[in-house]
Every structure is written in structure tokens, then in C-alpha cells.
Structure 1
Amino acid sequence: MVSGNRNENFPGFKKGKLVSFILSIISPITHSSKRIYEICITKILEVRNKILKIEKGTINKEVKESIEKDISELYLKHELYNVGKETYLTYHERKDLIDTCGKCLAICSSFKNRSKLFDDTSNDFIKKSIVELSFLLSEFEKYDNEEFINQRIRKYDYLFQKSSFPLDSSQKRAIVTDDTHNLVVAGAGSGKTEVLITRAAYLTEREPDKVDAKKILILAYQNKAAEEVKKRLKERFGIEGAEIRTFHSLGKKIQEEGSKISGKEIPRLKFSGSNFDKEFSNYIDQLFSNRKINEDFQKKIADYMRLYHDNAVIKSQEDFEKKEEFYKYMANLTYTALDGTEVKSEAERAILNFFISHNLNGERIRILYENPARWMEYTDSEGNKKVPRPDFFFPDYDIYLEHWALDKNGKVPDWFEGKNAPEEYKLGMKRKKEKFARQDRYSLVEIASYEFKGEKFEEILIERMTKALKIKFPDKDFEFIPVPYDQLINRVNYGCKESVRGLSFNVSRFITIAKTYNLSPENIKQRLRSERWSAKQEAFARIALDIYELYEDELRTENKIDFADMINLAVKELKEDQELYRNSFAQILIDEYQDISAQRYQLIRELMKKNNGCKLFCVGDDWQSIMGFSGSDLDFFVNFHEYFDHPARTDLSVNYRSCKSIVDTGAEIIKYNRGSQIEKETFAKNAADNPIRIYVSKHNRRSANIYYSQIASHCICSIKHYLDDGYEAKDILLLSRIGKNLKMKNMLMEYAKTQGVPISFDGSKNPSKIPFMTVHKSKGLQAKIVFLLDVVEDLYGFPCEIENPDIFEPAILSRKRDRYEEERRLFYVAVTRAMNDLVIYTRKDSVSKFIHEIENKVTFYELNN
């Protein structure tokens, strides 16, 4: 090594005239090349030794002591990890050890390369050090913890025996694996919570690296889950000192601790009950109801209703590699008006919506879409009879309205090439106009696409319609007036009506999600201005922001916070106070990690920063991530390594709950979530291959009452058979994607009462009654027999059409989500609640895509009664 004072690099070197003279000669050269300098100095020393007969130098004492100290400490680590197997070697510790070995070796090698400068004692020391360091480096590089894990599993087997069921090798391995960051990837029914609890006990019991229970933080999502963990740790292992909390409870405690230091007053909680979600949702509903009397707010709702049937995300030409693909996409798009009528273009929908949402002289306007005009019949070039279907017909006035797909230059859009050639379209226009010109009964009103794009579209429409009406009825006056909000609601179709009824609930979800990403109303407004969104997303966001701002104003006025604020403010406290919660935890254990949100991640991140050497242990099943509506982001689980570097991963693959046919079907469901899930294998402990039965009703969606009556009757009769065969109410679960479907619920209640089948419809847990609940509520539960109702493509079906996650995207700071991914995971949760038997009901004309995806795993039966 070369330092600033060049003479100091050569022990025993005495300044003299000869050496000074030589140095003065080479000095100008050495400024340009360190390597030349070193070569020159080596030659000088050789000459010096020959001429002056001076002894060789020794290695600097401090350098030697430093190398000895490093080697000694490395041997101690080797004894700890490689020989004694006394603790787990983490990735980060192993990397540090390898780096230390490498740095020491580099120093020793540099001395070895200049061995001629040093005496024999120094060179012997260097050789010995290189041998030892090379040995240590090799030992640390090849070390893999395998023997340590097996040793620990054997040593602490008595702990594993305390579990409520025998733990398998993967579960034991997960418990003792102790890297800095640990991810346990579980499957349904694989005992993941049991692993977390036994892990906590293991940490407090192991030697010599025992962890004080007070240094263990265990985080659960619900109070009930936290209490269950606390109860099991105390009863089974006698552990009471661990910090066991929900994220919200921890957030509150952090704020309390911070206030003791800073003296700041903690804002009070807006909702203090045990069921925050319900209280919050009810409160937002109240704000929404009060706001709904405002005309501007009603207009926002009406604007959203006009776009309700749209896909929330509309693609543009930039989304396609070839323009032909874009043309095909555009040509196949359909648009649905307020009354449920499907039309061919955005402009046609706007026209139809105008006449649905306006009265003419105080009366509703009768309008028919593409009604056959037999009086216009003609024979085409091939001799075929053709009956034109003009866009709109007003039968009370004998007026037709045609929307021509033309730009200002009279050109048909390019994307028509994927449907009809522009020449054919213009020929059709010509024929229709000629037919109108040859008769006197019917009038024609025309409007073009380019006029729709302008701001005065409705004015143009009113002007031309009014003109046509006045020509027909010169003695009458005509006035188009917007219908009142309540009247408009009655004119829209069932799906749109139900969507409006659920708006306040979706607004509460939007606010919850926004807060999990710490996005204020102003943040979201900025996103709406600067990013690309569909008209539907913008329309819903305007409604949600109206209520969000109102809600936030109330919180500020009352100096209160909600549950989401508790976590955000806790993160803020931890960032601002460097000593708060420093060195408080040695281990952080998290249950149901697949439901982690951005704010919860931030909280964990800050705690890890404050607790040097703290280890993270996360358990979850990405296939069961179904809490997107509350802000959970699966990316934190699937890409765990991007948030917590170099984690150790253990898979829990054995399902102890369900039989083989159900486990295999669950895996089949999830494989369609391509790219968004972690690949893993699942195996059933129970090898039974019980058939999964799907009963198909032949009644279509127009016969909804008969359909619900049929499946309710069959379901209740089937349940009665199970009860008569000796099964108990607690052995059966009755599930539905949505609990709001009153038609189905009422039918079930009626037949259950008639047949004397005890069913609980209020969500309460009564062991003597069969619970009817939503799939979300069933998470974590199991039953020998599960009945899953209404798995159809419909409003309240599965996937559920009334709950579209795309409208929440402006409140989400993560990748765009496929709307069916979480619905598919929810279907997986429903299926895997069953231990032995699974019965699913669907409808022939609208079988769910999820059933089609598993049709090779199930048996179909037709309902005939």
C-alpha cells in the first residue's frame, strides 16, 4: 500500500544522499504513474540493500495487529456458525464475513507481492494469514445453514409437540429459519398461523440466542386474530410478555409514546367502536345522503350513471402495436345507455341518454333504437331484400334521427375498415336519404360525429329536433327540460340503479384506499390532471372527492382522526423522532402478510430502521389476497424481495383442511392469474377425490325469481339431507359472493323456514345454526360441506359486476390491476373453505367464467324441477 509520505512505506529505510538523489530523479515520473513509482522504489531498495547491506523491513505493527484481530474475530464467527452451529447465519452476516475475508486477503496479497521488502518473520506471518483467511473464506462461502436447521429441529422437537396438530418438516423449517427477512409462502389450510405462534415460542426458548418476549412484536389484522394469538401463546407456552397488536393498535400506541416525549396532544378517534369499517361506511353513507340533495352533486352522479356500463379503462391507439388491432378493437366496442340499450358508438349513447334524461313538454319521450323501417325496404345488388334500421325513431312524431359517422370532411373513420368499407357505409347513407326524399310522412334529423366532439352537441341536437317538430306541428311549442334526479333514477336499468345505490359504499372504499397510500384529496386531483384516466374513472373520482374533502374538513374541524390516520401519523412520528422505538424489538412477526398495504409497509419499514439487527418474519398466502377494497397491495408479497432484500423463503405446501379434489381445483383456479401470483405446489393430506358438484339451472336471467326459487329449494333440501344423515349445523357453510342479493336471500329464508332448516342470516356465529355469509366473511373458516350460490356472470354474480375495482385506480399508487384477479382469488377462498364436499349453483345462460376455467375438475348436473 502506498501512503502520502512515500518514505514511510519502507521500514528501515534511512534517508541518505544516494537515495535522496535517486528519488529526486524519479519524482517527476512518479506523479504520472503510481505503478512506475512502485517499480522504481522496489529497484531502489534492491540497490540499497546490495550497496548498504541494510536488513529488510518488518510489517507495520498496527497493520499486523489489525490483521490478527480480524482473523481472530472471523474464527470466533466460524466457531459460532460453522462448528458450534449455535445460531443461524443470515444472508447479511454471511456477506459481511465474506467481505471481511476478501478485504484482509487483498491486504495480505499486496504484502506477499512485495515479499522482497520484508524480513522472514513478516513473510511467514503473511503466508500463514493467507492460508487462514482462504480457509475461512471457503467455509463461509459454502455454508448454507442446512445442518444448523436440522439440528435445531431435533433439539426443539418438544416445542413442536405442543402444537394442536403434528407439524410437518416444512412448518418446522419455517419456524427455525432465522434470516434477516423471512417469508413463509403458505397455501390454504397449511397451518400458517400455527407456524407463527410456535415461532414466537421457539424464539423465547432457544439457546444461546434466546429472545426476550418483550422484544417480540406480533402483528395481526383483526382484533379477533390478535386475541387468538395472545390466548394460544399463553395457554400453550406460558408466554405473556410479547407485544401482540393490530396495526391500528400499534399506530395508536406509537402516537401515545411520541406525545409523552413531544408533549403534543393526540387527536381523538372519530370512531371508537369495535367495528371501524362498519362505522366508517355508515358515516360516509350519511354524508353522501346529505350531499345528495345538492343539484351539483346530483349532476356528478348523473354524469357517472351515463358512463356506468363502460369498461372503466378504454384503450387508445398507443396501446396497440398495429393500427389494424386498434381498428378491430374500436369496431367491436359497444356502449350501453342509461336504460340498458346497447348502441354502436359513444355519440349514439349520448343521443339516447339525452332523450332518456329529458322530458319534452313535461312528458317522457318515446324513442326506439334501430327499429326496422319496412317502408324503406330495398333490393341490394345481389337481389336480396334489405330492411334498413335507422338509428333512432320517435313514433309519436314520425321523426327519425340518424347519426352519421363522418368527420368535418365527410370522411368515414379509418376503424370502419375492420367492419364495413367506407364506400358501403356511404352507399347506405345515400339509399336512406333517397327513401326519405320520396315520401312525406317521415322526417329525418341528421347529426354527424364531428359535431358530437364539440361542446355544443346538446344545443345542436335540441335545435335540430325542435326545428323538425315545429315543421310537423307548426302550432305547438316544444321545450326539452332535464328530468328531476329522482325521476332519472327510475328510468335507468337495474344494474345502473343498483350501482347508484352502492355509490356511498364505493366512496368509502375509495377514501380508505387513498388513505392507505397517504393520498389527500389534493394529491388525487393532481393525479387526475396529470395522468390518463377513462371518463368513467374521472366521473367516479369527482363524486368520491366531493365526499372525501367534506370528510377531511370535518376531521380537521373536530381535531379528530380515523383508523387509517393512526398508521399514517405513527409513520410520521417515527420519522421525526429519531429515538422513538429505537432498539425496542429484536423480532417482528406478521400474520396474513398477503393483505399488507402501503401504509402498513411504511410502518414496518420505519420500525426495522429503528431496530438495528431486528429480524422480520412474514406469513401469508398470496392466493388468498382478497382485501384490495381496503387498500391491500399484493405486490408487497409477490415481490417481497424488492422491499426486503435477500429474504429466506419457506413454502408450506400441505393442505390439512381439504380433500385432494378440492385442493387440486383450487390450484386450477389460481393458475389463470398469470404473472400476478407466486408459483407454488399444493398437496392434500386427505387423498379423497370427492366429486365437486355443480348444479345448473336452465332458467335464464329474465326468469330471476324462478331461478332463485329453484336453487334455494334444491340447496335447502340438500342441507336437510346432510342434517338427516348425522351432520351438524357447524359442519355446513352457506356462501354467496354478495350479501345484498335480497331476492336470493329471501328465497333461502322462505325454504329454510318451510323445511325447518336452522340458518343464521345475520352473520352471527351460532353453533346450532348454519351460517349464511359472504365469501369475504368466510376467510379463515372451514366446514365439511360448503354450498356456494349464484356463481354466474351477472350483477351480483361471481365475478361480481357491481363491484368494479377499476374505479378505485386514481387512489392507488401501484401497478394497474386486472379486475378479475382478486375476484378469482375470492373464488379460490370460497372453494377452499370446504373440507370434504363442495356444491356450486349456476345458471345455463350465464355460467361464470370461473366455472369454465375448472370444468375439467367438476361434475355438472342439470336442475330440472
Structure 2
Amino acid sequence: MSAFTEDEIKFKQWVTSWLETYLKSDNSRLLNFVNLFPEPTNPFDFKTQAEYESYVRDNELRTLNGERVKGYQELLIANFMYLNGVEYTYEAPYVSKRRIEIGFDYRPDFYIKDTSIYIEHFGVDRNGGTRPDIDSAKYNESMLSKRALHIECETNLIETFHYEWIEGTLLEGLEARLTEHGIVCKPKDPEEILKKLREEGRIATWSDLMTKALQAIRVERLTKESMIDRFNKAGIAQPNQIAEILDAIHAGYIQELKDQNAIDFDDMIIRAIHSINSEQYIPKWKYILVDEFQDISVARMELITSLIEKGPQPSLTVVGDDWQSIYRFSGGKLELTTRFGELVGDYTETKLQKTFRYNNSIANTAGQFIMENPEQYKKHIETHIKLTQSQVYLLDDKSTGKDGVYERVKEVVQKIRANDTNGSIAVIARYNYLLESAKLNLTSAKLQANISFWSFHKSKGLEADYCVLIGFFQGRLGFPNENKDEAIIE
């Protein structure tokens, strides 16, 4: 067995090393990779200014030079200039040679240092159209005014356009115009860039993303073509570029296992399937039982299918609960449970619909929420404990102050303790930082006795008399989170 199977840190170190080697082997690779994150988004798709501002806020459009910019296309331009050694200032105040009074605070998008050259990126299509929330007539009028100002003040204006990005010529056109104005692109040393990316934590973030992607590729048994197909169906931008990189790391990983003369857990399943299908091994089991079936992966299901097809007509029994399917990140395929008949054929179903774990108020509230997903089975859960009063409460946080949510948790715990001095309490959240802050707040108030702090994932199968769930807010670190990078993993 490969050392990677038991040592997650060693596996991530290999992914990081592979990624750095891949990126520094070619400057164009580095630029292409950097430009994948955050996910490219067409600003013309936003219907309101609030929608667009929410996108910019949640996606941290920060350049390699450290500036936070207002749009993805500005990010591309800034990163291109940084990687090619063109020194610039973002939104510097406009100063002309003649230093005339221009009457307003004009800040072009970019200023090339120690020159009279400015860059404006105009968000228009070939017909002068703009984002739906922008007045196109006024926007085009402002473009004309800026051009006239540069002519009057004898400064040089390089223009780039939204439609160039749509047509795939934005950076190529920018480089040509820079050259025309005597600005020569001199690519930076990749090692210098990687050092900066390490220091900023970007390599670690990308490495984590690649690790998750590689695991998904293995358990789903994906090819480059099937990845592209999935990305296209999900509306992921630049599907070919992403699939190419992921296919490359998968090939690198397979080679690494060969070099180690070792296998991993996915290899065990894949080789077992091959051994059965090629009849090197003949299954002898008459009865096959699979527990926790809701978390089964594509490869494991393929193994079961092989055991059935090559075995002595065995009887298959599976036990699972689609409402408890939480292992999609490691290949769990819910559809194998909820579409069992379509995938396996005729079967007999037995539903276990009575629980002794919680009361009817929790069962009804949770069930109503879960069954909003059309992929889930429709169930009516009977509970041993029946109550007439609701046992589920939805509270806002204390909106004043940055610690409002933790103050609200403290109030809830104080209320519980006033009525029940011994009951067990669990504070549950998606992210550990929320749990740590809640714990610190309760400890300082001397309220930490008989309280557990669990992530949503770690809480599965555990129980407490009172559960306080926190962190239901929108955004990149919300729940569910709106991080576009995760869309690739999904």
C-alpha cells in the first residue's frame, strides 16, 4: 500500500510538489492556472448592481500584486502585467504633463509607471452595450470624454474591451498594444512568482483544491472527456483548461504509484473488479449484504455488480438511509440509493420509518426540509416520543456588534441552564472557527460545563439534549457556502 493511504499530509505534500513543478515548467501554464481562480464570470450575466457587488465581495478579486480590483477582467489584465514584469499602479490619480485642472477625480484603471501611458478597460460589447444595471448611453459618453481628455493632455491611452475577453483576444491584444507603445514584456522568473504565491497562501489553497479533485477523479473513475462533459453540463467556465490540468495531475499520480511500486484504496477496488471480470477470481458468495449503502461510490457499486454477474446468482441486500448521505466529498453517490431500481432492476423494499432518537417536532421539521430535494425519498418518520409543542426554534443573531452570534449562543445556553442544570448541550456549526469563538465566549462566561462543540460532519450519530446550530448566513464562507472554486469539486 502507498504511504499516501495512511498519511494525508504526505499525500498533500506530493500534490503541492507536483503543482509547483507543473506551474514553473512554463510561464503560460502559470498565467492560465492563476486565471482559473476565482471562476471567470461574465459581468453581463448580472441583472442588478447588488448582484454584481455581491459577486465581487464574495470572490475576493485580488491580483498577484496585492490589489483588490472591481472585476474579473481587470484581474486578468493586472496579473498579465505582473507576470510579464510591467510595473503599474491600479487606479492612480490622473496627472497630465500639462497638469491642467480636469474638474473631477479621474482615476484610470491602470497607470504604467514612469511613463505617460494609461490603460482603460471598457465594459462594452461590440455594439456599445453594457451590463443591464449600467446606463449604456452615459457609459459610452464617458468613454468619449476620457479619450478626449487624454488627447488634450497629451497622454497615451491603451484601451481594452469586454468583447475582447468574450472573443478570447483580451491579453493577446493588450500585449500587442503595449509593444506598440514601447513597453516590452519580460516574463518574471517562475520561482520568484511561486515564492510570492506560497507566502500569500495561494499555493496551499490550490493544492487543497487539487487534492479534493484528484480524490474525486479516482473514486468516480473519470477521464478527461468525462470531466469536460460534467463541467459543461454544470456551466463551469473554461472546462477544457480545468480538465487538462486535472487530467495531468491524475496521470502524474498514477506514475507516482508506479514509481513507488504501490497501490491505493481505489486501486484495490479497480483491480478487484478486473480480477472478477477477467475470471481470474470466481466469486462464491450466495448472499451479499452492504451496509451504509447511501455512501457507496461508483467504483464500489461496480465491484458489487461484478460479484453478482460472475457469482452463483447471489441474493443482494442493501441497508441505507438517503437522508444520512454525507460522504459525497469522498465519492458517495446518492443516486445509487434513490434510483436503485433503475440501476439494479427489480427489488423488494422495506422501510424502517420509526425512530427512538428524537421527537416528532424535530422529525417533521427536518423531514420537510430534506424532502425539498427531489432526489430524496419521500418518507413520514414516526417517532417514539410525541410532543404537542414545537421543539425547533429559529433565532436571529444579535445584529449589533461583530460577536452577535456568539452573544446569542450565550443567551440561549443561559436560558437552558435556568431550566435544566444538567442537560447536555451541543453547539454545532459548519466551520471550526465558529465553534472556537463560541467556545471562547462561553468559557469566559463560565458556561462551558457539559457542552460539546461539533462540526456538522462530526456530529453524525451523536446526541445531546439541546442542539444549538449556528452559522446560517450567505456568502463565500456561508452555509451552504457560495465558493465558486468548490463548484469544480461538486
Q: Aligning the two structures, in what range does the TM-score lie when normalised by the shorter sequence?
A: 0.7 to 0.9
Cα offsets for 1:532-553 (capped at 9, x unmatched)? 4744555554554454333322
2:290–2:319 CA contact under 8 A, matched in 1:
yes
The letter of the residue matching 2:13 is Q
Amino acid at match of 2:409: C
3-state secondary structure, aligned to 1:620: coil
Is the Cα–Cα contact under 8 Å of residues 435 and 453 in structure 2 kept in the other structure?
A: no
Contact 2:117 2:158 in 1 (8 A): yes
Q: Are 1:437 and 2:151 an aligned pair?
A: yes
Which residue of the partner structure matches residue 486 of structure 1?
195
Note if contact 2:322-2:337 (Cα within 8 Å) is conserved in structure 1.
Answer: yes
Change (3 A) 1:776 1:352: same
| Structure 1 residue identity aligned to 2:224 | I
Seen in structure 2, the aligned counterparts of structure 1 residues 642 and 479 have a Cα distance that, compared at 3 Å, is closer
1:737 is matched with 430
Residues 511, 486 of structure 1: CA spacing in aligned structure 2 closer, same or farther, 3 A cutoff?
same
1:348 and 1:669, CA in 2 relative to 1: closer, same or farther beyond 3 A?
same
Alpha-carbon distance between aligned partners in 1 of 2:93 and 2:79, rounded to the nearest angstrom: 15
Equivalent residue for 2:253, pick from 522, 528, 551: 551
After superposition, where does 1:8-157 map in structure 2 within 5 Å? none
Displacement of 1:573 in angstroms is 1.6
- Residue in structure 1 matched with residue 12 of structure 2 by the alignment: 285
Q: Aligned pair 1:401/2:119, yes or no? A: yes
The aligned counterpart of 2:39 is 310
AA at the equivalent of 1:737: R
Matched residue type, 2:213: F
Identity %: 21
Which segments of 5 or more consecutive residues in structure 2 lack a partner in the other structure?
A: none
Change (3 A) 1:578 1:727: farther
Give 2:376's aligned residue: 677
Note if contact 2:297-2:331 (Cα within 8 Å) is conserved in structure 1.
Answer: yes
Matched, 1:789 2:470: yes
For 2:323, the equivalent position in structure 1 comes to 623
| Whole-angstrom CA distance in 2 between matches of 1:718 and 1:327 | 42
For normalisation by structure 2, the TM-score amounts to 0.77
- How many residues are paired up? 465
2:405 is aligned to 711
CA RMSD after TM alignment: 4.3
Map 1:202-213 onto structure 2 (within 5 A): none
1:630 CA displacement: 0.6
Q: 2:454 aligns to what?
A: 773
SS at match of 2:465: strand
Asked if 1:637 is matched to 2:330, the reply is no
Which residue identity does 2:426 align to in structure 1? L
Correspondent of 1:799 among 452, 470, 480: 480
Matched residue, 2:79: 353
> CA shift at 1:391, angstroms?
5.5
Residues 25-62 of structure 1: CA deviation (Å, up to 9, x unaligned):
xxxxxxxxxxxxxxxxxxxxxxxxxxxxxxxxxxxxxx
Q: How does 1:405-484 map to 2 (within 5 A)?
A: 411-412=126-127, 416=130, 426-440=140-154, 443-449=156-162, 453-454=168-169, 456-460=172-176, 462-463=178-179, 481=188, 484=193
605 and 295 in structure 1: CA distance in 2 versus 1, 3 angstrom threshold: closer
In the alignment, is the contact (CA less than 8 A) between 1:284 and 1:507 conserved in 2? no
Cα separation, 2, equivalents of 1:682 and 1:529 = 38
User: Mapping of 1:802-841 within 5 angstroms?
Assistant: 802=483, 804-808=485-489
- Secondary structure at the aligned position of 1:484 is classed as helix
Structure 1 length-normalised TM: 0.46
Change (3 A) 1:485 1:559: closer
For residues 448 and 293 of structure 1, do their structure 2 counterparts lie closer, same or farther at Cα, with a shift above 3 Å needed?
closer
Q: Does 1:571 align with 2:273?
A: yes
| Change in CA separation of 1:403 and 1:395 when aligned onto 2, cut-off 3 Å | closer
How far does residue 786 in structure 1 lie from its aligned partner after superposition?
Answer: 1.3
CA pair 645-369 structure 1, distance change in 2 beyond 3 A: farther
CA contact 2:197–2:203 (8 Å) conserved in 1: no
User: What residue identity is the alignment partner of 1:507?
Assistant: M
Q: Which amino acid aligns with 2:361?
A: S
Deviation per CA, 1:752-808, whole angstroms, max 9, x where unpaired? 54344558xxxxxxxxx6432321122222222112232222333211245854313
- Measured in 1, the distance between the counterparts of 2:92 and 2:484 equals 29
Q: Tell me the CA shift for residue 448 of structure 1.
A: 4.0
Q: Distance in 1 between matches of 2:327 and 2:368?
A: 21
Code of the aligned partner of 2:254: E
- Residue 665 (1) aligns with residue 372 (2): no
User: Partners of 1:690 and 1:548 in 2: how far apart?
Assistant: 48
How many Å separate the matches in 2 of 1:628 and 1:286? 24
Match of 1:601 in 2: 301
Contact 1:537 1:806 in 2 (8 A): no
- Which is richer in helix? 1
Deviation readout 1:419-478 (Å, 9 max, x if unpaired) = 6687665444333323333345x54322345655336335225336656xxxxxxxxx99
Where does residue 751 of structure 1 map in the other structure? 441
What is aligned with 1:137? none
Quote the Cα distance in structure 2 between the aligned partners of 1:488 and 1:610: 52
**2:429 touches 2:435 (CA, 8 Å); kept in 1?**
no
Q: Confirm or deny: 8 A CA contact 1:510 1:544 kept in the other structure.
A: yes
What is the CA-CA distance between 1:629 and the residue it aligns to? 0.9
Structure 2 match to 1:210: none
Which of 262, 270, 287 is residue 2 of structure 2 equivalent to? Answer: 270
Distance 2:406 2:332 in 1: 34
Deviations 1:634-669 (A, max 9, x none): 211121111121223333334432333322322332
1:225 maps to what in 2? none
Deviation at 1:301, TM superposition (A): 6.4
In 2, distance between residues paired with 1:802 and 1:777?
Answer: 22
Distance across 1 between alignment mates of 2:91 and 2:131: 27
- Given residue 306 of structure 2, which amino acid in structure 1 is its aligned partner? E
Aligned letter for 1:676? E
**Residue 338 in 1 paired to residue 62 in 2?**
yes
Is 1:514 equivalent to 2:217 in the alignment? yes
Q: Is the 8 A contact 1:390 1:402 kept in 2?
A: no
Residues 400, 445 of structure 1: 8 Å contact kept: yes
The one-letter amino acid of 1:776's match is: H
Structure 2 vs 1, CA of residues 462 and 647 (structure 1 numbering), >3 Å: closer, same or farther?
Answer: same
Q: Which has the bigger relative contact order, CA under 8 A and spacing at least 6?
A: 1
- Runs of 5+ in structure 1 lacking a partner? 1-268, 316-325, 378-386, 468-476, 492-496, 700-705, 760-768, 809-818, 820-865
The whole-number CA distance in structure 2 between the counterparts of 1:714 and 1:420 is: 41
The residue that corresponds to 1:392 in the other structure is: 109
Distance change in 2, residues 1:510/1:450 (3 Å):
closer
Alpha carbons of structure 1 residues 424 and 801: separation in structure 2 relative to 1, 3 Å: closer
Deviation of 1:736 (Å): 1.9
SS in 2 for 1:783: coil
Pairwise CA distance, 1:561: 1.2
CA 1:295/1:604 → structure 2, altered by over 3 Å: closer, same or farther? closer
User: How far does the alpha carbon of each residue in 1:339-370 deviate from its partner, in whole angstroms, 9 at most, with x for none?
Assistant: 484645x5434223335656556xxx431299
Task: Choose which of 358, 367, 390 in structure 2 pairs with 1:689.
Answer: 390
Amino acid at match of 2:218: K
- State the distance in 2 between where 1:633 and 1:676 align: 11
Distance 2:211 2:275 in 1: 26
Following superposition, the deviation at residue 392 of structure 1 comes to: 0.9
Judging changes above 3 Å, is the alpha-carbon distance between structure 1 residues 281 and 544 closer, same or farther for their aligned structure 2 residues?
farther
Deviation of the 1:601 alpha carbon: 1.0
